[in-house]
Amino acid sequence: MSQPKRLAVLVASLAVGGVGRVRVHLLNELIGQGLAVDLLVARTDSPYMHSLRRGVRVIHLKTSHAVFGALPFACYLRRHRPDAVLTERIRVNAMALRACRLAGSGTPVFTTLDTHLSRQLDSLQPAKKRKHLRMMRRYYPFNAGLIAVSDGVADDAAALIGYPRASIRTIPNPVVTPQLHEQARIPLAHPWFQPGQPPVILAVGRLEPQKDFATLLRAFAKLRRDGVYRLMILGEGKLRPELFDMASDLGIQADLQMPGFVENPYVFMARASLFVLSSAWEGSGNALTEALAVGTPAVATDCPSGPRETLADGRYGPLVPVGDADALAEAMRATLRNPPNANCLQSAVGRYTVEASAQGYLTAMGLV
C-alpha cells in the first residue's frame, strides 16, 4: 500500500482570531482527505492547538520565532522529505526557502497571501515597510506558487511585487464547516440575547487599528439616536482602553460590551440582529463570511480586499466607504429595518466551504 503524500505546514503560531481558526479548518480537512500533515510551529500557545485532529503531527521548532528555524527546518526536510511545504507571511516564507537550500531539497514551497499587502505595508514604519517590500520582491518569485485568499489580494500582490497575476491562484478561505453550524446552535444564556431584548449589533476581530472599531463606535452612537440598540465586539487587543474611553466620550458605554476573545463566536453571530465589519483592510473577511453562513444580516466597509467579493458587489449586504461613520450608520439603520432573507445569505458562501477550499489547495500544490 502506497504512503500518503505529506504536506509540511510552517507557521510561527496558530495564533488567535480568524486566521488561526481557518488554518485549523484546512489542516483538519486535509487529514480527512487522506493527506499526511506535519505542522511545524515556533509557539504552541494558541488556543486552537487542541482543535487539531489527532492525525496532524505537531513539530515544535524550539526557537523564539519561526524565522530563526532555518536549521531545524532543514533537518526536518532531510529526514521527512515532504512532498510540499505551505508557509505564511514573508519572513516565515523566506526562512523556508533558505532551509530548502540548506537541506539541498527540491521540495516545492507555496505561501498563502492572507491580507492586502499594500495596505499592510502602509501601516508599517517607512524603514520596516521598505525592508518587507524588498523581501517580498526577492523571495516570493522563488515559490512554486502563491495562493491568495481573495482576487483583490491576488491583484494587489501581482502589482506590488511584479509577480505574474496568472500565476497567483485564488482559493477562498475554509470558513464554513459543519462544526460552525453545530456551535451556532448551542444555547446562549447571555442576557442580551434573551426574548424581548433590544437588537444586538455584533462585530468580531482583534482590537487593532486594522479593524477600525473607532468608526463603528461613532456609527453606533449615531444609530442610537433612533432607539435602543446594543453593540458587542468580540476580540482582544491593544486598543481596548482607547475604545472604552471613546465609548464613554460618546455616551454609549452602557450599551457596549467587549467580552474579549471567545472560542465560539458563532453562538453570538446566530443570535445577533446585525453583523458589522468596519475594517480599513482585510484579506478576505472571515468573520463576515461566518455571519452570512449562519444567516445573519451584514454590513461591511468596501475595504481592500474581500468584502466586496463576499457580498457580491452589495447583493448580500451594503458596502460603505472605509472610515465613513455616517454611511455606516445609515447602512446599519436600513438593514435593521429591512433585513434580507437568511436562506439567501447562506447561499452566498458556498465557495467558502472547507471541502472546496481543501480541494483547491490540494490541486494547487499538486497533491491530488
Q: Is 263 helix (H, G, I), strand (E, B) or coil?
A: coil
Do the Cβ atoms of 94 and 17 come closer than 8 Å? no
Plot region of 320 (φ>0 → left; ψ -120 to 50 → alpha; else → beta) = beta
CATH code given to domain 178-351: 3.40.50.2000
Round to whole Å and give the CA distance between 84 and 37: 10
C-alpha cell at 297: 444580516
- N- to C-terminal Cα separation, the chain: 17
pLDDT score recorded for residue 46: 84
Q: Is 329 helix (H, G, I), strand (E, B) or coil?
A: helix
- The one-character DSSP state at 48 is T
Domain boundaries, the chain: 6-174+353-364, 178-351
The CATH number of 6-174+353-364, from 3.40.50.2000, 3.20.20.140, 3.90.1170.50, 3.60.20.30, is: 3.40.50.2000
pLDDT score recorded for residue 279: 98
C-alpha cell at 201: 449589533
pLDDT score recorded for residue 16: 64
In tens digits, the chain (368 residues) has pLDDT values of: 578 999 999 998 887 667 788 999 999 999 999 999 999 998 888 888 889 999 999 999 888 776 788 999 999 999 999 999 999 999 999 999 999 999 999 999 999 999 999 999 999 999 999 999 999 999 999 999 999 999 999 999 999 999 999 999 999 999 999 999 999 999 999 999 999 999 999 999 999 999 999 999 999 999 999 999 999 999 999 999 999 999 999 999 999 999 999 989 999 999 999 999 999 999 999 999 999 999 999 999 999 999 999 999 999 999 999 999 999 999 999 999 999 999 999 999 999 999 999 999 999 999 98
Round to whole Å and give the CA distance between 183 and 24: 16
Question: Are 6-174+353-364 and 178-351 in the same CATH fold?
Answer: yes
Residue whose grid cell is 446566530: 270
- The one-character DSSP state at 180 is H
